[in-house]
Structure 1
Amino acid sequence: MTAQPPDVSAVTALVADAATAPSLHNAQPWAFRYLRDIGVLRLYADFERALPRTDPDNRGLHLGCGAALLNLRVAAAAAGLAPLVRLLPDPACPELLAEVHLCGTGPPDGALARLSPAIRRRHSSRLPFRDEAVPAAVLEKLREAAGAEGAQLFFPGAWHVQSLLELVRDAEGREARDPEVRGETEQWTRTDPPGGDVAADGVSGEAFGPRQRGTSAPVRDFAAGRPVPGRGWAAFEKNPHIALLGTVHDGPVDWLRAGQALERVLLHVTTEGLVASVTSQPLEWPETRWAVRDPASSMAHVQMVIRLGHGPEGPASPRRPVAELLDVL
C-alpha cells in the first residue's frame, strides 16, 4: 500500500517487466507515459508498429498491449502496489488503452504477485514438445487464470484439434498466396545468422524452431519459404495439446481483456514447468476464424490458439530499451 507516487526508477522497472510480453511478430506495439505528480501510468498503442494487412482491425495489437498490461499489474503487485486500472478511459483518444493508478490503496494482489518470477522466464517455444499428458489439475488452474481476467479457456477434443490443424494449414496457404501478408512477415523477421547489430524487435531465425517432419503442430513458420542458415528438421508431437482463449464479445475492450488473460495463462504455464507457443494464423482470416470455435461450447469469439506441453524452453526474444517506451511528465 502506498500514498506517494512511485519514483521514476520504480516505474522504469515496472515498464521493463511489462515490455517482456508477447506480441504479434514481436512488434512490441506499446508506449507508456508516466504522470509522476499523480502516480498515473498510461498505456498507449503504438500504431506505427501495427500490421495493417495481417491485423487490419488491430485485434492482435490490442492483445499484445493487454499482455503487457497484465505483466505491469503482476510487477506492481510484487512491488507491494495495488494499482487501479481503467481500460479505454478516453473515447476521443483510441490510442490510450489504459490508465494505471499506481497509488491505489489496499493490499497488493497476492495471486498476481506470485506470478512475478515467471515474467522473465516466459518465452514462446516453437520447438518440438513431448507427447505427454498435461495434468487435469494444471488445466483447471489455467481455466481459472483466464476466467480471472474475464475470458474463457477451452480445451478442444481430438476431432476439434484435427480440424484446427487443418485450419492452420488453410491459413498458411492463404498467407503464402498474399504478397502483402508475406511482406509484413518478412519485415518483422530475421533470417540472417546471429551476429553484428541485433534488432530490438521482430522474430530472429533462431526463434523460428525447426521445420516439421511428418507432423503438423500449430506452429507458425516465420521463414515463409525463405532459406534460414542452420535450420533443420524435426518431428513434433503427434497429439498437440491445444487451448482456445476466447471472449463473449469482440471489441477493443474485449481484446485488451483477452490479452491480459492470455499472459496470465502463459505465466501460469511457465510456473507449472510447462512451455507454450501461440498462433493466430487461422484467426487472421474471416473465412477461417468463425470455424475455429467449437459450436458446442459457449465461447463466442476465439482470440488465440495456444499450444502447450512439456518441452524445451524457447530462446528469449529481443526487447526494445525502456528509454524508447517510457515518457515521463
Structure 2
Amino acid sequence: MTSSPTSTHRTPSAERRSPFEAALREAADIAALSPSSHNCQPWGVAWPVSSGVRQAAARRVDEARGGGTSAESISDGSDGSDGSDGCDGSSRSEYVVLALDRERELTSLPAHAVEMQLSCGAYLQILLRSLALLGWSTDGIGFVEPRPGEQERGRSDFHRRLGDTWPASWSPLCAVRLRRTGPPSGALAELRRTARARVTNRAPYRTEAVEPAVLAGLRAPSAGVAEGAEVTVRHLVADSERAVFADVVARHGGRDFSHRQAWRETHSFLRRNEAEAAAQGDGFALSQLFGPMSGPRRLALRTALAPTTMRVLRYAGYHRVLARQLARVVRPTPVVVAMSFADSVPGLEATVRGGAHLAEYWMRATDAGLALHPVSVVLQHDDVRTELQDRLGLPGRTFFVSRLGRSLTEFPPSRRRIASSAVRPI
C-alpha cells in the first residue's frame, strides 16, 4: 500500500467558512493525532453540504434512533445561506460521515480489517470530543452495518445514496448528527495538548508498579462514541501473567518478520529518516521504532529490515532473534493491558466503539503520565491470539494488548498528513 497524494479539493477561505466548517477543521487538526496501525491514518470524514447527502445522513441517523426524518434536520441552505436560521448557525443540524479510506488501509492479514475500523473509531472519538468542546454536541449516530446481500453487492444502500461526489475509495462507517449547544470551551487547549503528547513509546519502562487507583481511573466509563462499548479491560500486573505474555511474545513475536506479505506491507511504512516521514505524513521513521541512533546503525537496520534481506535472514532464524529482543523489553514492564470485545465476531458498530474506547483509554493514560506500546503481532494471527487468550483467560476477542508504564526515554511523535486532506465537503 502506498500513501494517497494530498487531497486537492478546494475549500472556502477562512473568511467565508460557516461556523461549523471552521469548528470541523479545527477538530480535525486534533483528531489527526489519533493512533492507527502503522500510522496509516485510514480515516476520512465527509461533511454533507448538498441536500441529497444531508438527507441520506439524516435518514441513517433517524433510522438508528427509530424515528422519522424531520424537515429541519435536512435544511440544505439552498437559498445561498449556510442553511441556518440564526446569524450564528445555531438552529441548523450538521452532519459528518466517518469513512474508511480503502487506499490507506492495511490488507496483508485478515486481522487488519478489525484494526482499520478500530483506527477509524479512535479518530471519531477525538474528533467528536473536540467538536463538543467547540460547541457542537453529538445528537445521534447511525452506523452502516451491512444488511443481507449488501456485502455481496459491494456497496450498502446508504453508500449508494451518498451520490457522485462521495470519494470512490471511501467506505462509509457511520453518520453523525451534531447540534450547536454553546460557545467553545477553554478545555479544548488541554485536549489538544494531550493529543500531541500521546505517542507510542517503545523504550524500556520503569519497573515500579502503577498505582491501583490510577489503573482504576483508566477503566472508568467513557463518554462519546465510546459510551456503551462492550469492551473488557484487563490489567495484567501479576508476575505470572506478565511472564506468560512475555513467553508468547518470545515464541511468536517474529511472525510478521517471517510473513512475506505482511512484512512487505509493514516495510512500506518505514521511512528512511525524519525528513522523509515529514514529507510522506504517515508511517514511521526508524527512530519511532528504535529511538535515537547513529547514522551507521540506521543504515545497518535499513539493510537488515529490507524485505529481500528478511526473506534470506528468516532461514537463519533472524525473526526469532527479533522476537526474543522484543520479549526482553516486554518482560519487566509493570503492566500489560488487554482489551477484548464481548463477541468473538464483533460487528462494525462494536468495532468502531471499541476503537473509541481505546482512544479514550490512551488519552487518560497520557494525562496520567503513562506510556503505551502496543504489541499487535500476538493478535494478528488467529492461532497466536487464541493461545494468548486461552493461557491468560481473556474473554471474547482480544483486540488490543500493550505494555503500560512510565517510560525512561521520550520517543518522538509520528508524523501526520495534513488534517484537511481527510475532510471533504460533499
* TM-score over 0.5 for the pair: yes
What's the offset of the Cα at 1:178? 1.5
Structure 2 match to 1:199: 280
Question: Given the superposition, is the C-alpha separation of residues 166 and 100 from structure 1 closer, same or farther in structure 2, using an over 3 Å criterion?
Answer: same
Give the letter aligned to residue 246 of structure 1: S
2:244 to 138, 154, 163: 163
Of 349, 352, 375 in structure 2, the residue corresponding to residue 279 of structure 1 is 375
User: CA-to-partner distance for each residue in 1:51-103, whole Å, 9 max, x for gaps?
Assistant: 21134551100110011011112212222332134252363149211222121
Q: Relative to structure 1, is the Cα distance of residues 181 and 12 closer, same or farther in structure 2, using a 3 angstrom cutoff? A: same
1:304 is paired with a residue whose SS is strand
Distance between the aligned counterparts of 1:286 and 1:210, measured in 2?
30
Opposite residue 198 of structure 2, the aligned amino acid is R
- 2:411 equivalent among 314, 317, 320: 314
Runs of 5+ consecutive residues of structure 1 not aligned to the other structure: 212-221, 228-232
State the one-letter code of the partner of 1:307: R
Shift of 1:251: 2.6
The answer to whether the Cα contact below 8 Å between 2:205 and 2:405 also exists between their aligned partners in 1 is yes
Which position in structure 2 is the counterpart of 1:214?
none
Name the structure where helix makes up a greater proportion of residues.
2
How has the CA–CA distance of structure 1 residues 109 and 246 changed in structure 2, closer, same or farther, with 3 Å as cutoff? farther
1:304 paired residue number: 400
Q: How many residues align?
A: 309
Aligned mates of 2:182, 2:342 — CA distance in 1: 30
| 2:234 alignment counterpart | 154
Identify which of 28, 35, 47 aligns with 2:102: 47
* Alignment partner, residue 264 of structure 1: 360
In structure 2, distance between residues paired with 1:140 and 1:121 = 22
Q: Which residue of 1 aligns with 2:125?
A: 70
The structure having more radius of gyration, on CA atoms, is 2
CA distance in 2, matches of 1:243, 1:107: 37
Q: Which residue of 1 aligns with 2:263?
A: 182
1:243 paired with 2:337, answer yes
Shift, 1:277, TM fit = 1.7
What residue in structure 1 maps to residue 305 of structure 2? 226
Counterpart residue type for residue 320 of structure 1: R
Output the amino acid matched with 1:242.
V
**Equivalent residue letter for 2:136:** L
Contact 1:152 1:246 in 2 (8 A): yes
State the 1:278 CA deviation.
1.4
Alignment of 1:131 onto 2:207: yes
* Counterpart Cα distance in 2 of 1:57 and 1:289: 14
Letter in 2 for 1:169: A
1:122 equivalent among 184, 188, 198: 198
Deviation, 1:207, is 0.3
CA distance in 2, matches of 1:57, 1:65: 12
1:24 paired to 2:24: no
8 A Cα contact 1:44 1:98, kept in partner: yes
Q: Does 1:96 align with 2:192?
A: no
Q: Give the residue type in structure 1 aligned to 2:264.
A: G
Distance of 2:30 and 2:397 partners within structure 1: 29
Percent identity (aligned): 26
Q: Are positions 1:327 and 2:398 aligned together?
A: no
CA separation in 2, counterparts of 1:248 and 1:182? 30
CA distance 1:270–1:149, shift in 2 (3 Å) = farther
Matches of 2:403 and 2:235 in 1, distance apart? Answer: 10
Question: Following the alignment from structure 2 to structure 1, what is the Cα–Cα distance between the partners of residues 221 and 377?
Answer: 24
Is 1:35 the counterpart of 2:48? The answer is yes
For residue 230 of structure 1, what is the aligned residue in structure 2? none
For 1:95, what is the secondary structure of its paired residue?
strand
Measure how far apart 1:195 and its partner are. 3.4
* SS of residue in 2 equivalent to 1:28: coil
CA contact (8 A) 1:182 1:224 kept: no
